[in-house]
Amino acid sequence: MTHSKTTRRVALLATTALVGTAFAAAPVAAQGDPNVCDGVIEGPVELSMTIHSGTNPGPEPETVEAFNTGVGAELGVSVTMNELGEGAYETSLKSAAAAGEMPDIVDMDGPFLYEFVWADLLRSLESCVTDERDAFLGSIIAQGTFNDQLYSLGTFDSGLGLWAHKSMLEEVGARIPTGIDDAWTVEEFDKILRDLQAAGKGANGPLDIKWAYGAGEWRPYGFAPMIQSAGGDIIDRSTMASAEGVFNGPEAVGAWTQFQTWVNDGLIDIVAADDSNVMLGPDGEAGTGDETPLSWVGHWMYVPYSEALGDDLVNIPLPNFGNGSKTGMGSWNWAASSGPDGVSGTGDEADLDAVWAFIKHVTSPEEIARFTAANGAVPATKDALANSPLHQEGGPMAMYIDNLNAAHTDVSLDQAGAVPRPATPAYGFIRDRFSDAMADIVAGADVQSTLDAAARAIDQEIEDAGYAE
């Protein structure tokens, strides 16, 4: 079966209900070929951009203002920003494409990219990138690449770990790992959780997993590394065509069975209605003794946790389920849409040089520093990383660099510390089945049958949509 670009676009748009959207794309008259970077901007150009609103307030308004009053003013380019909630972001973006209202610049989480490229909704940046490519971390380039074309660049990369109250771990005699090669084994982790529980640590269990984040990207990003650490995965990466035997393989079943045991034994907090700062305790103030001792989450909680806990905060790698400690990688990144109607070459797409000017700005050293200071993320470029004291040896975020230095982009999955989400347009469907399966397992469903059903659904979707063709 052959799927045309039009068919692909329809397939993507059919994956979500069409809802109202606030996007408004700025019409820009075509001058020459707007779909390549030729060094010429026929100004003035007004660009529309949409971003997601994350867990903590971001610096995007300041970044846009700096562009509009600086290099943008010099080039005759301005950006108008629209902000949407992260939970509804992907759905809203698909709705915008369906309505012919795609913004010129889109902010998207790593794996969103592949489905949008597959549907011909994004433009390649290959004509824009020259020596800039070598300046970025390999993981950033890998995330933005699909079918050997670069479509996006990020301002930062990401990482997972366990944020912990050092004093609470010391109280129960727990060993504190110093890096990913020193991660707790599952057996160690199990004992530590039970010791913390016995010591009365954590109002609803000693381990916070940000369950209140709900369905969506958090669950596969946060817990696929657990499966990968056990030796499994969420899709066969050699073909990107099937989840059977991988999503539901013995390694995955074993990891989820252990996880379910922890839930059943009250070791994991799935009760808190708002666990954004659960490590600070129900009263929001650390030091009262009712804080949750461990938080399974990413870099974005460094700022609030460090402000509250100071020197008592320690970053620990995720436990080793048998195949080494793993973490997710990749984060939100910047891309150029194909135009409001989702089709390049119709004359309503923004000049790619103008879009590229903003992407260059938002990935500049100054803006990288602005973003990473706000969210504690890994800087996207090698120079910015070298100048970040947070991520140097001995720094509070050094573990994330250890992970990325052993990323799956450069080594085999078995050797990797950081594993990207799979580069397939089927990822959105995989994400949803993963999230649903995790919820069912937490609720007590049989692990094997739950994963079997999810794997069958994923394989059927890949076949029906033609994602593997």
Digit-coded pLDDT (tens) for 6-43: 555 545 545 443 333 333 333 333 445 788 999 989 87
Q: What is the per-residue pLDDT across 400-415, written as a single tens digit (0 to 9) for each? A: 788 777 777 776 777 7
pLDDT beneath 50: ranges in the chain? 1-2, 10, 13, 15-31
Residue 123, C-beta contacts closer than 8 angstroms, at least 6 positions apart: 35, 151, 335, 336, 337, 338, 344, 349, 352
What beta strand segments (E) does 21-123 contain? Answer: 45-53, 77-85, 105-108, 122-123
Q: Do domains 5-155+331-387 and 160-328+395-465 have the same CATH topology?
A: yes
The candidate with the shortest Cα–Cα distance to 93, out of 52, 146, 153, is 52
Q: Is the dihedral of CA 387, 390, 391, 393 positive or negative?
A: positive
Residue 28, C-beta contacts closer than 8 angstroms, at least 6 positions apart: 34, 45, 46, 104, 348, 349, 350, 351, 354
Helix (H) or strand (E) holding 157: strand 156-157
pLDDT at 85: 76
CB 105 within 8 A of CB 358: yes
pLDDT at 410: 72
**Proportion of the chain above pLDDT 70, given as a percent:** 88
pTM (2 decimals)?
A: 0.87
pLDDT at 171: 96
pLDDT at 346: 62
Q: What CATH topology corresponds to 5-155+331-387?
A: D-Maltodextrin-Binding Protein; domain 2 (3.40.190)
How do the domains of the chain map onto residue ranges? 5-155+331-387, 160-328+395-465
Residue 468, C-beta contacts closer than 8 angstroms, at least 6 positions apart: 239, 240, 241, 424, 426, 462
pLDDT at 34: 81
pLDDT at 54: 65
The CATH number of 160-328+395-465 is 3.40.190.10
Can you read off the two tokens belonging to residue 435?
């999230």
Query: Beta strand 122-123 with 145-146: parallel, antiparallel or unpaired?
Result: unpaired
What span, in angstroms and rounded, lies between the C-alpha atoms of 30 and 347? Answer: 5
Please state the length of the chain.
Answer: 469
Measured in degrees and rounded to the nearest 5, phi and psi for residue 161 equal: 180, -175
What span, in angstroms and rounded, lies between the C-alpha atoms of 206 and 39? Answer: 56
Residue 428, C-beta contacts closer than 8 angstroms, at least 6 positions apart: 15, 90, 111, 112, 115
